[in-house]
Amino acid sequence: MSQSNYIPGNSKSSASLGEGTYATVYKGRSRTTNEIVALKEINLDAEEGTPSTAIREISLMKELKHVNIVRLHDVIHTETKLILIFEFCEQDLKKYMDQHGNQHGNNRGALDPATVKSFMFQLLKGTNFCHENQVLHRDLKPQNLLINRKGELKLGDFGLARAFGVPVNTFSNEVVTLWYRAPDVLLGSRTYSTSIDVWSCGCIFAEMISGVPLFRGKDTQDQLLHIIRILGTPSDQQLAKMAKDSPEITLKPFPRCPKVDLQQVLPKASPAAIDLLERLLKFDPAERLSAVDALSHPYFTETANDMAFGMNIPPGSMPPPNFNFPHPNRHQQRAHAQPGAQQYSNPPPIAQRVYNFDHHHMQHPVHVPHIDQKRHAFLHDAGSDYAYGLGDTAFQQQCSTEYPSLMSTTYLDYAASAPPPVSTFHRISEKIATTLYTNPHSRSSSSVATSLEIEQCRGQVLEDLFGLDDAQKRSQWDVIFTAGATASMKLVGEAFPWQAGTSKYYYLKQSHTSLVGVRGCALSRGAVVAAMDIDDMLESPQAKSDSSPTLFAYPAQCNATGQRLGLGYGIHLKRRHPNTCILLDAAAYLSTAVLELGSVPLDQAPDFIACSFYKIVGYPTGLGCLVVKRSSASFLQRSGYFGGGTIDAISVFSPFWSQPRRSLVPGPIHERFEDGTLPFLNIIALGHALDTHRRLYQSHRHVSKHVSALLRFTTRELSLIHHANGRPVVRLHRAFGNSEYLEEPGPTIGFSLFGPSSEFVGHVHLEQLATINGFQIRTGGLCNTGALASAFDISDQDLMYEYNRGRSCWDDEEFSGAENRPLGMARISFGASSTIDDVLQWVSFIRRYFVVSEPVIALSKPLTTPKASASAVASLQTLMLYPIKSCGGQSLPKSSSWEIIPTGLLYDREWLLMDTSSGKTLSQKQYPRMALVRPSIDLNRRKLVVCAPDMTDLVLPLDMSETDDELSANVCSDVVAVTSSGGAADEWFSTFLGVQCTLHRLSGGASRHAHFDRATGSVPILLSNESPFLLITRPSVDQVNQWIKENSGGTSLDEPVHPRLFPRQLPPRRVHVHITAAAAALLRGYGRPPSHRYGDLPGARALSALSHGLRESEDRVQDEGTI
């Protein structure tokens, strides 16, 4: 916003409100709104630039919007000054206490009890909001608490504030004004958290009661002495515990002082006030009350006297605070205007639409233990199992050093891939830069050295990941390097000696798709295939010793739910079926645990084991292995293709023959199956990655202990989350039920969420909310259809039904069309670098967005759609046409007419842009600049005119040539016929978008059909996703614009979002669009009066789909009044 919008601080009409080291605050006025504001003017040094405190204050205060936090309206940046425009507050708490304290008594500055209670409640509300949004203020004191004319207290001056949470960072201990600084910080702690602000709140509380600061030291040592003279000297055990929690604390000898009764220090305070104060001023930060729990303290609900909550001040002064104090387990009463969506830094409008209740209900109940208390409880219970014995602080520091990419996100998808540590790349790059590695098929010295490192890596894999510490036991196994676990399973499927009609392939139905895929190889060779449950597989007919080969397959760990069968289930299989082979998918299991092959008798161990290394150490990707029991090597037979390095002899001419590679001793089966040159640099990198893994985490077994501790805590916390009506929020899925063959589960949790009426919450909705809140999780079918089917009782007929109606594994469909059953689940998972803060943030997220902490009043009967009436007819205000898919739109004049064809509006989404390299259709998600492309149809000139910033207009003919060659393009999983628009158009779009692309047009007569069923049948469309029309009501647009303004501090455009197509304001709290009304509105509004029956109109079917979609929308939002 321009500086001219405000009267600047150096004008004659402004007054200086205060001056600090870096800034001066003036009273100013907005020229546009005439609102009085505070202008914080910061002089910029040409060499130093913008102070970091100012940058931090701006970035945090733009996100923190709450009635008890001072509002940042705008920021003005010039070459010499930075001006922050804040809401104006008349004075700070210190000045207020000086002016309105107990002037006629002995305690000058002391406030009356009602005022203390009001201000304390507001202070804790603002502080709690900061903590819920992972912000530490770090400088709470009376001078930084502002009071406006309404008696509202607001937290200000966020120059020292810092974000915290994931992971906990190491902070400076040179924070907080001395008299309000916590003892742990005075002792040198740099890993403090929200308790630092809680201590300051306690000090301010005492000061409001007495009129003077409670602890008034001259320096750090003197401040500590003042504290212990009142609170008493902490015990040696307390100090030792604090030092353990924060190793940087320096313990000092203190004089032995007894604890002083605070009632003697503050004789006018009520017993409840003293109790609250004692809980806030705990020497040990772990014992301090959290802000959220302090709000529910009985002090705020006591009725010791009948005095109204107000300020006992002279007439004409500020009015009393307009806050009522609620019951501890209820939200603040609404007798006065309270903040709405602006109270949240990220208001949850999406979640609000799911349940149709006010988003105040989405705050977690106040009785939930605070995040710091949960962290301390976990660390106590987990002991040395968590953090590899490093201690929480050292482990957090290691994570911040080794995984800087995780500092800005909460990563909970380790089952998909593990992030690699930085030192792995340092070791690899240094080694490769200083050592010559060459093709191991050569015989040079560098080639021999390369071969030796590859063989060492095979042994390292068996030792570190499979527990084969003994060389003799390692010799019983071989490692075939592959492109990954999927390639390993494919190798077994292709090399297994299937015999038509007699060989069998039995696999657990809850297997990963890659393991299920082996059935394709078996079926193509005529083998018998069956998907089974755990018990059914064990009870299958025994194979005879002379029978055809039989292959059992199962996952050591379910990739979707984390349940583990490990090696134990295979032992039972081998005992029951000794003449068979077992293929074990160990990709998920090995990601955080050692598969202890050395602990199992060789004859009862699996024959083939598949794994991927990126799931374990993050890098290299594209590398896995198949571990083969040498005694079972005969079951893998090469046929067909052979590659370099896998044969001993080969013929040149017919009759063609080749001899596979053999060794002088029985063994290296890998020599027969590793075609061509191995990715030797990747394998060498793997060796260094395993070395780094061992250095950071001691061993892979320690990783298992670490993640198991997190898993136990997480499952317990999730199981404790309930709605106000007592119904659970989280349902944990178990792919294998409660089978007796299960091991302790792995660190993967598959789950679904429930609403307050036990209705499922859509997995896509969950993922979208998680993403915008900084979480990375996985949702959907998770490449495990069997687990999904078991979780939601989905049959093969149901799966075929969904496929026929257009549903696919990668789409956003959340529920089945037939019975509204979920079509996906959610998954979170942990790995070596996971922290307790990852878990705490996730649990807090679930509580905030999905817990209904107050009962939702349900309608006694469902609303019905009333009959059409003249007052309910919708009229079109704006009609937008989008000729090029995913580009900008063209507004059609109301005075014009426009043809409606069976696929919608003529020329709507008839062109598309396709990536030259991939052949995929471009979208705004990938290339946001597409929104700046503005195509328009000129019917008079019969031209398509395309405009974009700094580009010459592109003009193309509307009429298609009969000689244009047809091509194929993929649009939303459909293959459609298109024609090219020419090289000039391709060059124009490639230049503007910065990607090589081509413009194509749907061929004449070609069309698609919407995938998902409608009541009216399949709807013909062109290049739109699922419908030819999108109708948006004006109230919906107004609400979105309101949210944008609130999140941008009110500095955005008057109307940031403009609708494509929306009716004028409809009757309040009611939406009704009738099919004929919609048709008439479309035609009447654009100069084409209906001259015949609706059913005969050219666009009748499209309009019918539009109207049906409106009625579906109406059913969902009748109580909201928006579509």
Q: Write out the catalytic residue numbers.
A: 783
In order, the DSSP letters of 206-225 are HHHHHSS-S---SSHHHHHH
Neighbouring-strand partners of residue 410: 775
Query: Taking Cα atoms as reference points, which of 481, 529, 478, 485 lies closest to residue 508?
Result: 529
| Cβ-based neighbour number of residue 15 at 10 Å | 11
d(CA 1105, CA 15): 63
Instruction: Give CA angle at 280 (275, 284), nearest 5°.
Output: 120
CA proximity to 350, closest of 756, 791, 849: 849
Long-range contacts (CB closer than 8 Å, 24 or more residues apart) made by 771-776? 772/346, 773/346, 773/845, 773/849, 774/166, 774/408, 774/409, 774/410, 775/409, 775/410, 775/412, 775/841, 775/842, 775/845, 776/409, 776/410, 776/411, 776/412, 776/413
The tokens 């991939």 sit on which residue? 918
Ramachandran area for residue 229 (φ above 0: left; ψ -120 to 50: alpha; else beta): alpha
The dihedral built from the CA positions of residue 727, 729, 731 and 732, taken in this order, carries a sign that is: negative
CA distance 1013 to 803: 11
Backbone torsion region of residue 166, taken as left when φ is above 0, otherwise alpha when ψ lies between -120 and 50, otherwise beta? beta
Count of H-run helices and E-run strands, the chain: 34, 41
What contacts 893, CB < 8 A, 6 or more positions away? Answer: none
CB environment 958-987: b (16+ within 10 A), e (fewer):
beeeeeeeeeebebbeeebebbbbeeebbe
CA distance 795 to 781: 14
Angle at 478 between CA 473 and CA 481, to 5 degrees: 145
CA–CA distance, 320 with 310 (Å, rounded to integer): 5
DSSP string for 909-930: T-EEEEETTT-BBP-TTT-GGG
Q: What contacts 580, CB < 8 A, 6 or more positions away?
A: 543, 549, 550, 551, 552, 573, 574
Strands 15-19 and 23-29: antiparallel
Helix, strand, coil abundance in the chain, percent, nearest 5: 35, 15, 50
Which token pair is 976?
A: 């459609």
Q: How many CA atoms lie within 13 A of 860 on its CB side?
A: 0
DSSP 318: P
Which of these, 402, 313, 399, lies nearest to 112 by C-alpha position?
A: 313
DSSP 8-class letter at 30: B
H or E element in which residue 195 lies: helix 195-210
Q: DSSP assignment of 1050-1112, as one string?
A: T-S-S-S---SSEESPPSTT-----HHHHHHHHHHTTT----S-GGGSTTHHHHHHHHHHHHH
Q: Which amino acid is at 460?
A: Q
DSSP secondary structure, 337-358, as one string? ----GGGSSS--HHHHHHHTS-
- CB count within 10 Å of CB 421 equals 26
Tell me if 40 is assigned to a ligand binding site.
yes
Read out DSSP for 966-1021?
EEEEEETTEEEEEEE--HHHHHHHHHHHTS-EEEEEEPTT--EE-SS--TT-PPEE
What's the DSSP call for residue 309? S
In the annotated binding site for ATP, the residues are 40
